A and B are shown apart, each in its own frame.
Chain A
Amino acid sequence: MEKSEEEQLTGQRITYTLESSLDSVNKVEETAEQMAKKAGIDEDEIFRVAMAVREAAVNAVLHGNSYDPEKRITASFENTGESLVIRITDQGKGLDPDTLPDPLAPENLLRGSGRGIFLIRSFMDEVHFKQLHPGTELTLIKHLGTAQTGS
């Protein structure tokens, strides 16, 4: 683990503070995958959770912090027993989800970007945005009752 990384374990929640880098994105994705595996959900759901969390981390690092070496992202992971709750924050200029173009609209289908938030919303049960002034917090929730469990 790099010096700039901090790890905090509070109850059942683990929080990382990470540099704005692709390594951090990969670490966050791997942690989400491990968490989902431990929760006993099936492989397709593990993939969806890990991918949604990866997309949220990419947004934080790339669109939020613009790879700024002075800025950090945080990622917290919690299994409440009823849900997996993942929170990702950045220190960027903020994100208004209502202004995002619809990637399924015919005029946007051939765009080379703009599908991250759409995939997050498709794969998770709840997605919440909070403005931090500066920065954005994304909360991703997968209900374990509705997630298909592995056999």
Chain B
Amino acid sequence: MSMKVSTRQVDGVTILDLSGRITLGEGSVQLRDAIRDLLAKGSKLILLNLADVNYIDSSGIGELVSAYTTVRNQGGELKLLNLTKKVHDLLQITKLYTVFDVKDDEASAIASFTRS
């Protein structure tokens, strides 16, 4: 039922490959911890690959929003990659699809980050 997180670095961008469920008390906490750890290490360009996230609840949506605002407030950028149809639909319903920078190609997503 829980979520798995693995981390990659590509051209100065940290890609978090998430799989499973981002829900209350499970994936939400893992995502929050992963973002906090990255920011503590100074990694502020973050791409969340949601290709294998098959389920997300309101808590998980809230965690994505919190991750987005936390990273942005620290001068970084957080983008979303490869949304499944369910996650895409949920972001549309909640009007968050236009808030996030959503990408469907990893290479162009990485190129789109602003490097200082």
A residues adjacent to B (C-beta < 8 A): 22, 25-26, 47, 51, 54-55, 58, 62, 103-104, 109-116, 118-119, 122
Contact = CB atoms under 8 A, between A and B. Distances in A.
Contacts, number: 49
Contacts of B26: 22
Given A54-B57, A110-B99, A119-B94, 9 more contacts: A26-B1, A55-B57, A104-B94, A109-B99, A112-B62, A112-B65, A115-B58, A115-B61, A115-B94
For the complex, would chain B's binding face be called helix, strand, loop or mixed by DSSP majority? helix
Interface of B: 1, 23-26, 57-59, 61-63, 65-66, 68-69, 86, 90, 93-96, 99
**What 9 A-B pairs come out closest when comparing CB atoms?**
A112-B66, A115-B58, A112-B62, A116-B58, A22-B25, A113-B62, A104-B95, A110-B69, A58-B24
A113 B66 CA distance: 9
A80 B96 CA distance: 36
A54 B96 CA distance: 21
8 contacts: A22-B26, A55-B58, A58-B24, A58-B57, A104-B95, A111-B62, A113-B58, A113-B62
Contacts of B95: 104, 109
A41 B15 CA distance: 37
A122 B92 CA distance: 12
A61 to B, nearest CB: 9
Chain A CB within 10 Å — which of B25, B58, B90 has the most? B58
Nearest to A108: B95
B3 to A, nearest CB: 14
For the complex, would chain A's binding face be called helix, strand, loop or mixed by DSSP majority? helix
Contacts of A26: 1
Contacts of B94: 103-104, 115, 118-119
B99 A113 contact: no
Contacts of B23: 54
A36 to B, nearest CB: 15
Contact of B62 (A54, A104, A115): A115
B59 A113 contact: yes
Nearest to A123: B93
A111 B69 CA distance: 9
A77 to B, nearest CB: 19
A52 to B, nearest CB: 10
A111 B24 contact: no
A58 B58 contact: yes
A49 B24 CA distance: 18
Nearest to A58: B24
